[in-house]
């Protein structure tokens, strides 16, 4: 005999076997007992809740020859024929593939014939919301006034898509999601009848993963049993088959996120990936974990709505005391959006990593309300840490006072005169910019230090040599403004200057570079140091050789085919004779002017250098190689 799936093998044969839908079962049984069966029913609800199963039971019950308390007997010929699919009076139609007007017209033609075996002719139309508009219109008249022996049972998972004219002609029954306890009891019953050994914790996890669907739970159980055939079904094996993770992993992830530890959060995600878990399922389970944590935070008696063990419930309560409801709701919002975006994502891991980093770093949230609120909460947490440190210091002061009262003589502390610091100059502000990162690292106030590292200001030079700190928004500016005096004191202790601070914020649409001087950008742009040499200690010849070499390759051209140019290692008075005096003087002058503009030659020696060069060039004589200087129209001394 071929193998039959568990959800088909254990399909309920009577109303008594239907689990979790007592309100519907009781109503239908009473209608059958009192012979008040309607002509059209609409069964709506999520998948796997028993719509089709109840429809088949109802079709057998209304045609049974010997019904028992509203249930089909299962022994008569009609019941066996319907169960085996041999009865022509019970027709099951899939509206997803038979959704046209012609299919409905076929039904209309068939209802004119009386049933052959039973009392009623039953039409079960599954997924009825898939019918076309024309098909619905064709069904209206027959559905409103069918023959007395015809029964329509419509089943759907999306009742909102059904026209109101159809809804008004049917008795509507809503199938609820089945509770975890009910599904777990059914799974225990199935495993006992099948001879399968399974841990209670494993069955409960399968029941929770089914999401209220009995059919899904039986399918998951079938899958897990097949993977561990002949072995006991344990909790760890179920997690491995379903690609899920243990609840403790979610606790570790939540702790890392509340502590803004992005490195730990990414490490936990990497372990989940290495274990081969399904990332979409991981995010969905984490959202469910956050939901349970939210309920524990808002109420004390949540055992009925939080489907976890007592041990895990105590862990949730401990975590709930260490956080606030706003943080949990922000996490739920972020990861719910992530869960929706993962359905069509090609790189799921990257999206999850981005979400984890964004949660750990509130400044990446931009100017959204959630981001600003989380940044303020982070600052408040740091402030509470600072308050704890202050309390410990105060406790130490109390101990010293007790020692004095026991007989120790303590002199009153002498007032310390305030240091008088010099006013800063621009070079001092530049020193602050150069060492600002070291200054932040050495700040005593841990809360203020971490906040300024998180939202680092842009530095600029203000009026009267003040240090301007420019932030991106008004909220951050207000927080730092309250700590201005403390910040100035820290700067004075670190740089030994009376540095005043201006706290500013960029207006909407304002660019920092357009309104302020970016000292850090200037610092990074300057790649050389300007050195001024002493005039007396520098030979004039060095000045000529380093800063006044004529560039004859770019402007001067050789005359009469002679090879021009002055060797940069060759002294000026040994220049080649094929360069005229006027060329040499002009080139030297241009070189000196250029070097003066670059700041390489001091102004007070330029005239002396230029005169020395002119005199040297005038004393040049032609070589004995046959070349001679060009003749000039002007006298040589005027050149």
Q: What is the CATH number of the domain that holds 492?
A: 3.30.300.180
* Continuous segment of H or E residues that includes residue 206: helix 200-209
Whether the pLDDT of residue 299 is over 90: the answer is no
Say if residue 225 is in the same domain as residue 302.
no
Residue 505 pLDDT greater than 80, yes or no: yes
In the predicted structure, residue 590 carries a pLDDT above the cut 60: no
Residues 26 and 160 in one domain: yes
Is 198 within the bounds of a domain? yes
The pLDDT assigned to 580 comes to: 44
Measured CA to CA, the distance from residue 371 to residue 610 in angstroms comes to: 67
596 inside domain: no
In this predicted structure, the answer to whether residue 513 has a pLDDT above a threshold of 70 is no
- Give the pLDDT band (50/70/90) at residue 515: low
Binned at pLDDT 50, 70 and 90, residue 310 comes out as low
- Asked whether residue 29 falls in the same domain as residue 141, the answer is yes
Residues 453-475: what's their mean pLDDT? Answer: 83
The maximal CA–CA distance of the chain, rounded, in angstroms, is: 143
Which tokens go with 443? Answer: 């700040």
The lowest-confidence range among 73-87, 452-466, 618-632 is 618-632
Evaluate if residue 454 carries a pLDDT over 70: yes
Instruction: Looking at the structure, tell me whether residues 148 and 101 fall in a common domain.
Output: yes
The answer to whether 435 and 470 have CB atoms below 8 angstroms apart is: no
Give percent of the chain above pLDDT 90: 32
Identify whether residues 19 and 168 lie together within a single domain: yes
Tokens 């742009």, located at residue: 525
Rounded CA separation 51/59 (Å):
12
Is 628 part of a structural domain of the chain?
no
Instruction: Examine the fold and report which residue of 473, 500, 524 is the final residue of a domain before the chain moves on.
Output: 524
Domain that residue 42 falls in: 6-174
Alpha-carbon distance of 136 to 437, in angstroms, equals 72
**552 pLDDT tier (thresholds 50, 70, 90):** very low
Answer yes or no: is 349 within a domain. Answer: yes
Q: Give the DSSP letter string of 574-598.
A: G--TTS-HHHHHHHHHHHHHHHHHH
- pTM here is 0.54
Residue range 36-54, pLDDT digits in tens: 999 999 999 999 999 999 9
Q: Band of the pLDDT at 317, cuts 50, 70, 90?
A: confident
Return the pLDDT at 597. 46
List, for residues 141-195, the tens digit of each pLDDT value: 899 899 999 999 999 999 999 999 999 999 999 999 998 889 999 999 999 999 9
User: For 267, phi and psi rounded to 5 degrees?
Assistant: -65, -40
Instruction: Give 581's pLDDT tier (boundaries 50, 70, 90).
Output: very low
Q: Indicate whether 155 and 188 sit together in one domain.
A: no
**3 state SS of 467:** strand
Q: Taking residues 114-118, report their average pLDDT.
A: 88
Pick the last residue of a domain from 356, 383, 406. 356
**CATH number of the domain enclosing 271:** 1.20.272.10
Query: Under a CB-based contact definition with an 8 Å cutoff, are residues 449 and 443 in contact?
Result: yes
Winning range, highest mean pLDDT, from 231-245, 402-416, 585-599, 612-626: 231-245
155 and 10 belong to one structural domain: yes
Mean pLDDT of the chain: 77
What is the CATH number for 169?
A: 3.40.50.300
Is residue 370 domain-shared with residue 340, that is, in the same domain?
no
Task: Provide the percentage of residues in the chain whose pLDDT is more than 70.
Answer: 70
Res 638 pLDDT > 50: no
- Token pair of 615 as six digits: 């005199």
For residues 326 and 330, give the distance between their C-alpha atoms in angstroms, rounded to a whole number: 6
Q: Are 18 and 129 contained in the same domain?
A: yes
Question: What's the CA gap between 243 and 340, in Å, rounded?
Answer: 19
pLDDT at 564 over 60: no
Asked if the structure places residue 185 within a domain, the reply is yes
Number of domains in the chain: 5
User: Do 33 and 101 share a structural domain?
Assistant: yes
pLDDT at 275: 84
Residue with tokens 């509507």: 172
* Span 511-526, average pLDDT: 62
Residue 516 has pLDDT above 80, yes or no: no
526 vs 473, more confident: 473
Q: Does residue 497 fall inside a structural domain?
A: yes
User: Mean pLDDT highest for which of 256-265, 414-423, 443-452, 454-463?
Assistant: 256-265
Mean pLDDT for the stretch of residues 262-283: 90
Q: How far, in whole angstroms, is CA 261 from its chain's centroid?
A: 14
258 torsion bin: left (phi>0), alpha (psi -120 to 50), beta (else): alpha
Verify that 365 and 345 share a domain, yes or no: no
- pLDDT given for residue 45 in this prediction: 92
Report how far residue 378's alpha carbon sits from residue 450's, in angstroms, rounded to the nearest whole number: 9
Nearest CA among 261, 371, 278 for reference residue 327: 371
| 406-420 residue pLDDT tens | 444 444 444 444 567
Per the domain annotation, does 436 fall within a domain?
yes
Query: What confidence score (pLDDT) does residue 455 get?
Result: 80
Cα–Cα distance measured from residue 490 to residue 443, given in angstroms and rounded to the nearest whole number: 7
pLDDT at 304: 64
Q: What is the mean pLDDT of residues 75-80?
A: 91
Domain endpoint, select from 467, 499, 524: 524
Domain contains 47: yes
> pLDDT digits over 347-406, tens only?
999 999 999 998 888 665 554 565 566 667 667 766 776 666 666 655 654 443 443 444
- Reference 94, options 48, 125, 53; nearest CA is 125
Looking at residue 356, its pLDDT comes to 92
45 and 116 fall within a common domain: yes
């Amino acid at each position: 005999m071929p193998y039959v799936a568990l959800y088909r093998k254990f399909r309920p044969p009577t109303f008594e076997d239907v689990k979790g839908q007592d309100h519907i079962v009781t109503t239908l049984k009473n209608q059958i007992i009192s012979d008040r069966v309607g002509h059209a029913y609409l069964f709506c609800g999520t998948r796997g809740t028993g719509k089709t199963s109840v429809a088949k039971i109802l079709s057998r019950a209304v045609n049974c020859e010997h019904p028992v308390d509203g249930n089909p007997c299962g022994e008569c010929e009609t019941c066996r024929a319907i169960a085996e699919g041999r009865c022509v009076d019970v027709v099951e139609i899939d509206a997803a593939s038979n959704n046209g007007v012609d299919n409905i017209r076929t039904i209309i033609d068939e209802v004119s014939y009386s049933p052959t075996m039973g009392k009623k002719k039953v039409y079960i139309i599954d997924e009825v919301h898939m019918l076309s508009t024309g098909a619905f219109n064709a069904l209206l008249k027959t559905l409103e006034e069918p023959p007395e022996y015809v029964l329509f049972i419509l089943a759907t998972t999306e009742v909102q898509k059904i026209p109101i004219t159809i809804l008004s002609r049917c008795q509507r029954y809503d199938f609820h999601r089945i509770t975890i306890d009910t599904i777990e009891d059914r799974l225990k019953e199935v495993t006992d009848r099948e001879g399968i050994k399974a841990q209670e914790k494993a069955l409960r996890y399968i029941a929770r993963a089914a999401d209220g669907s009995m059919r899904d739970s039986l399918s998951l159980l079938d899958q897990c049993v097949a993977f561990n055939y002949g072995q006991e079904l344990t909790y760890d094996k179920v997690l491995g088959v379903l690609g899920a993770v243990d609840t403790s992993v979610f606790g570790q992830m939540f702790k890392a996120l509340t502590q803004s530890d992005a490195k730990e959060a990414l490490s936990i995600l990497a372990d989940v990936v290495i274990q081969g878990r399904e990332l979409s399922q991981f995010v969905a389970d984490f959202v469910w974990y956050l939901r349970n944590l939210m309920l524990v935070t808002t109420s004390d008696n949540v055992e009925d709505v939080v489907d976890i063990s007592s041990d895990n419930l105590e862990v949730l309560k401990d975590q709930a005391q260490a956080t606030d409801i706003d943080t949990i709701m922000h996490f739920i919002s972020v990861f719910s959006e992530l869960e929706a975006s993962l359905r069509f994502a090609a790189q799921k891991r990257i999206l999850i990593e981005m979400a984890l980093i964004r949660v750990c770093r509130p400044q990446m949230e931009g100017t959204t309300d959630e981001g600003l609120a989380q940044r303020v909460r982070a600052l408040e947490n740091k402030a509470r840490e600072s308050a704890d440190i202050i309390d410990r210091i105060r406790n130490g002061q109390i101990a010293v006072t007790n020692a004095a009262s026991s007989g120790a003589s303590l002199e009153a502390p002498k007032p310390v005169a305030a240091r008088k610091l010099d006013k800063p100059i621009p070079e001092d502000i530049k020193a602050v910019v150069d060492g600002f990162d070291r200054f932040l690292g050495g700040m005593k106030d841990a809360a203020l230090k971490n906040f300024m590292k998180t939202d680092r200001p842009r530095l600029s030079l203000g009026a009267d040599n003040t240090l301007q700190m420019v932030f991106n928004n008004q909220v951050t500016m207000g927080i730092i403004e309250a700590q201005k005096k403390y910040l100035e004191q820290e700067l004075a202790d670190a740089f030994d200057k009376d540095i005043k601070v201006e706290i500013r914020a960029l207006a909407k649409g304002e660019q920092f570079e357009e309104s302020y001087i970016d000292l850090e950008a200037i610092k990074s742009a300057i790649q050389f140091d300007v050195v001024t040499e002493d005039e007396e200690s520098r030979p004039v010849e060095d000045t000529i050789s380093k800063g006044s070499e004529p560039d004859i390759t770019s402007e001067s051209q050789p005359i009469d085919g002679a090879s021009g140019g002055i060797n940069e290692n060759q002294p000026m008075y040994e220049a080649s004779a094929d360069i005229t005096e006027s060329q040499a003087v002009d080139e030297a002058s241009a070189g000196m002017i250029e070097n003066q503009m670059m700041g390489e030659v001091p102004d007070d020696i330029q005239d002396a250098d230029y005169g020395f060069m002119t005199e040297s060039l005038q004393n040049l004589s032609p070589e004995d190689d046959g070349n001679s200087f060009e003749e000039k129209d002007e006298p040589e001394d005027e050149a």
